[in-house]
Chains A and B, each alone.
Chain A
Amino acid sequence: MGVGRRLKVDCTVNGSRHVADGVWEGESLLYVLRERFGLYGSKNACEQGECGSCSVYLDGTLVCACLVLGGQANGRSLVTIEGLDGEKVEQAFVEAGAVQCGFCTPGLVVAAHDLLQRVPRPTDAQIREALAGNICRCTGYAKIIAAVHMAAGSA
């Protein structure tokens, strides 16, 4: 069988058409975004859905890009951290001191953005629940939760 580079992935990313040729059939959307489209904002840490650092919107739904097969994104519309309307959340992360090394931040910002779309004024418990799939090794989460409250307050 070998590694045949045979797939074409044609999708909309952040509002513009992106096409990659010769994609390996087993390649994840995360790999396509980073290595073929040069969008390095979505991070690759675990490739098994555990850390959330690759969180993106797929047709408006929050997903882990590492768990979507490249071919499954054909014809779909994606929003990554690069194209997210996420300034309010990002600003709050900076102001609350919710960013240390920053590796987890893009994923957390996308996940927090998704929460605030669904629940404009979330409680602590709702924030914890919504961010349960995003791992941060630095901050200890308290400031991340504070940042989400802050972003909600300025909404």
Chain B
Amino acid sequence: MEFMQPATWSEALAMKAAHPEATPIAGGTDVMVGLNLDHGRPESIIDLTRIRELGEWGSDDGWLRIGAGVTYTKLIDELGDRLPGLAMASRTVGSPQIRNRGTVGGNLGTASPAGDAHPPLLAADAQVELASATGTRRVPVREFFTGPKQTTMRKDELIAAFLVEPAAGPQQFSKVGTRNAMVIAVCSFALALDPARRRVGTGIGSAGPTPLRATEAERFLEGVLDEQGSWDRRTRVSEAAVTRFGELVASAARPIDDVRGTAAYRRHALSVLARRCFTWAWAAA
């Protein structure tokens, strides 16, 4: 095993180009578990923690561009007001020790269907910035995940950052687990409302081979809110419409039975999470 510690981003990209099989390591909260439990040994490791800009964020044409190495703790502290949905999800990740080290870049890199950062990024229509020695491209999060732990990232690429617009309206995140901390989601749901653009965004976690959007549910809710003129006047939304929204979210999931829960339970729980998230978001709108 080789240990590489690039000091700059261009060095890191050159190393990844020369060693496409190398495993990058950021906070190590996924990589180290694999190493400690000896689930296979990588050919080589590229430590990304020396690259200063990966741990920084800034704005980019009205969007926030957040380095792949920004930890959950930093995100909560510095961006919690601008990205409330992602901050809520970040607060549910592990423990303080995990949030102090773990990064959204690492969450995207692992691409677990249960990754808690994914639903809010989907709901907010975020983009992932991938870089290689030969160039940079931006991929919508909704196209990033291709299967369980699989993404569109090429072997010569690294995740530089993700881009997301500051919240334009209320956002919510909710997660089901056996305890209030240190749990992998049984299922989770994120909602983002954008009243100015009359848009509803959703993200479903841990209930399919990849994180998913509930597109039909989004269009349905947009239709209800448009029809009632609710976006501007915040009128009450009927119980029936909220229930239907929950059903459409549940039907967008593609869950399986596993140790954490059954597919049927996940669908049911998702309909409840979707209703709750909307009710909370609407109350705050």
Contacts and interface: CB of A to CB of B under 8 A. Distances in A.
Given A26-B41, A68-B28, A129-B181, A114 B96 contact: yes
Contacts of B100: 61-63
A111 interface: yes
Given A47-B37, A68-B32, A1 B1 contact: yes
B41 A72 contact: no
Interface in B1-24: 1-3, 5
Interface in B91-121: 94-98, 100-101
Interface string A59-84: 00111101111011010000000000
B208 interface: no
Chain B interface extent, by class: 20 to 34
A68 B101 contact: yes
A52 B82 CA distance: 31
A79 B230 CA distance: 55
Given A55-B97, A67-B27, A69-B25, A28 B182 contact: no
Contacts of A68: 28, 32, 101
Contacts of B2: 25
Contacts of A48: 33, 36-37
A32 to B, nearest CB: 13
Residue of B3, B31, B97, B182 with highest tally of chain A CB at under 10 A: B97
Given A1-B41, A50-B182, A132-B182, A63 B32 contact: no
B279 interface: no
Interface in B40-55: 41, 43, 45, 47, 49
Contacts of B31: 69
A26 B1 contact: yes
A25 B36 contact: no
Contacts of A47: 33, 36-37
B47 A71 contact: yes
B146 to A, nearest CB: 27
Contacts of A25: 1-3, 45
B35 interface: yes
B180 to A, nearest CB: 8
B29 interface: yes
7 contacts: A6-B3, A49-B94, A66-B32, A67-B98, A71-B45, A74-B5, A132-B95
Interface of B: 1-3, 5, 25, 27-29, 31-33, 35-37, 41, 43, 45, 47, 49, 94-98, 100-101, 180-182
Listed from nearest, the 9 A-B pairs whose CB atoms lie closest are A133-B95, A132-B181, A47-B36, A25-B3, A25-B1, A67-B32, A48-B33, A71-B3, A64-B97
